[in-house]
Structure 1
Amino acid sequence: MGTGKEQRRTQVCDVELGAAVAHAQQGDEAAFAAAYRLVHPGLLGYVRGLVGGDAEDVASDAWLEIARDLGRFRGDGAGFRGWTATIARHRALDHLRKQKRRPRTSLIEQDVLELPGRADTEGAALESMSTERALERIAGLPPDQAEAVLLRVVVGLDGPATARVLGKRPGAVRTAAYRGLKRLAEQLGSTGRTDGVTSAAPGTLRDTT
């Protein structure tokens, strides 16, 4: 999501990821490690948005399942991001049920009308923040907006893939992400600064502080 430059960067990254996954499915451990490096930062950020301080343990459980079921995966690099996010989400919600507490973000509870795609400036505003600051601000959004933004910006999924992970209509997810990013941009505008960090590669938010 975002500018054409960011979209091209996403496409290049997902081509590399798709090749790594294909080789990993043939037993190439180095290729699996490469896929892990490309996916894990965004996946961990997403899980942290759901379970907070337990994110490392939940993400580890998710990667055990990903490694176990890798041979069953069919798709390209972008599809792999969505598949791993779905697994991570299930593990996070299982963890929260065991802990008997609500997730910091939750499922979209109702469908809403579609809105036009967000303006690039809102995505750029979020991408300008550090990982820690971004997650703090995202956690303050309404639950449906928070999870949509996490999947779109932190994991790097497109709208349809995000909708599949959440089990919702693309229009509802696009609306939630639009509103969440708009609110974040407004918050940044009210501070008069962008926290002094630069945009990051797909699936990550780079901290330069």
Structure 2
Amino acid sequence: MHPQRDLPDEDLMLAYARGDASAFDLLYARHEAGLYRFVRRLLGASLAAQADEVFQDAWLRIVAARASFQPQGAAWRTWAFTIAHNAAMDRLRVAGREVSVDRDEDGDDPLDWLLARADQLAPSSEDLAYWRAAGAQLLHCLEALPQAQRAAFLLHHEDGASVEDLARRLSLPFETAKSRLRYALKKLRGCMGDYLAALEPAR
């Protein structure tokens, strides 16, 4: 057993900053899937083809900033997700992206969030088609959100950022960050109305 595997992210980053490449390998393995999903959702369907490039750019920025990481500040995951958010926002600005509601082919991805709302571990086989449709609808709803609201929702959902965290990380007044998250949740609930209504008895 490698003792590094038990270290928290912050200690691994400090070890990597001191030149331990294996510490970075562990960080990457821990967070590859979550960070990629976060970038993918931020970019949306119309920029899906650029998700790999932005994902790689985010990790390059993490590598470049390794010496500046301070564990007494934000947690490593919060720090890394903020870097990934900024990389995605830079790409969206360059692309001059308009809001798109194109259907996303990765229809299973949003099920984690939807099923968490229902307090269910997994859909039964007979309900799988229903839940896939619900997942596709959620992607459609995320696509329809304004970029700023989608970013606030994803930072809150994917990284567990509080409103205070959102305000700090997005350089916004507290009330503005709170409003963005509230409006995003309101729009998502409205867009997912039929599906969420069906879940009420299960709570």
- Give the TM-score of the pair, scaled to structure 2: 0.62
Residues 150, 184 of structure 2: 8 Å contact kept:
yes
2:38 matches 1:46: yes
Q: 1:177 to 1:143 in 2, by over 3 A?
A: same
Determine which of 13, 19, 24 is the counterpart of 1:21: 13
Distance 1:164 1:126 in 2: 31
Matched, 1:180 2:184: yes
Deviations 1:127-162 (A, max 9, x none): 9788x6454432222333211101110233232222
Deviation at 1:56, TM superposition (A): 1.2
Structure 2: gaps spanning 5 or more residues = 1-6, 101-113, 121-130
The correspondence for 2:146, drawn from 117, 120, 142, is 142
> Partner of 1:37: helix, strand, or coil?
helix
Say yes or no: does 1:72 pair with 2:76: no
1:91 alignment partner, one of 87, 95, 105: 87
- Residue 140 to residue 77, structure 1, CA distance change in 2 (3 Å): farther
Is the Cα contact below 8 Å between 1:85 and 1:165 reproduced in 2?
no
Structure 1: segments with no counterpart, 5+ residues: 1-14, 106-121, 195-209
What is the DSSP-based 3-state SS (H/G/I as helix, E as strand, rest coil) of the residue aligned with 1:160? helix
Q: Displacement, 1:63? A: 0.6
Is the CA contact 2:61–2:83 (under 8 Å) kept in the aligned structure 1? yes
* Corresponding letter in the other structure for 1:177: L
Secondary structure, counterpart of 1:27 in structure 2: coil
- Shift in alpha-carbon separation, 1:61–1:137, aligned structure 2, 3 A: same
User: Paired residue for 2:97, among 77, 98, 102?
Assistant: 102
Change in Cα spacing, 1:154 to 1:103, as seen in structure 2 (3 Å) is farther
Cα distance, 1:65 vs structure 2: 1.7
CA, structure 1 residues 147+28, in 2 after alignment: closer, same or farther (shift >3 Å)? same
Q: How far apart, CA to CA, are the structure 1 residues paired with 2:60 and 2:31?
A: 14
How many positions carry a matched residue from both structures? 162
Would the aligned equivalents of 1:148 and 1:162 in 2 still touch at CA under 8 Å?
yes
4+ aligned runs moved over 6 Å, structure 1:
126-130
Task: Tell me whether 1:171 sits opposite 2:175 in the alignment.
Answer: yes
TM-score by length of 1: 0.61
How much has 1:61 moved relative to structure 2? 1.1
Once residues 143 and 73 of structure 2 are traced to their aligned partners in structure 1, the CA distance between those partners, rounded to angstroms, is 27
In our comparison, the structure showing a higher alpha carbon Rg is 2
Higher helix fraction (1 or 2):
2
The letter for the 2-side match of 1:31 is A
1:103 offset after TM fit, Å?
6.2
Aligned-partner residue type, residue 80 of structure 2: T
RMSD over aligned CA atoms reads 3.4
Work out whether 1:37 is the aligned partner of 2:29: yes
Q: Secondary structure at the match of 2:70?
A: coil
**Pair 1:103–1:168, CA change in 2 (3 A):** farther
- Aligned amino acid, residue 64 of structure 2: R
Q: 2:123 corresponds to which residue?
A: none
Query: Is residue 126–residue 185 contact of structure 1 (8 Å, CA) maintained in 2?
Result: no
Identical amino acids, percent of aligned pairs: 28
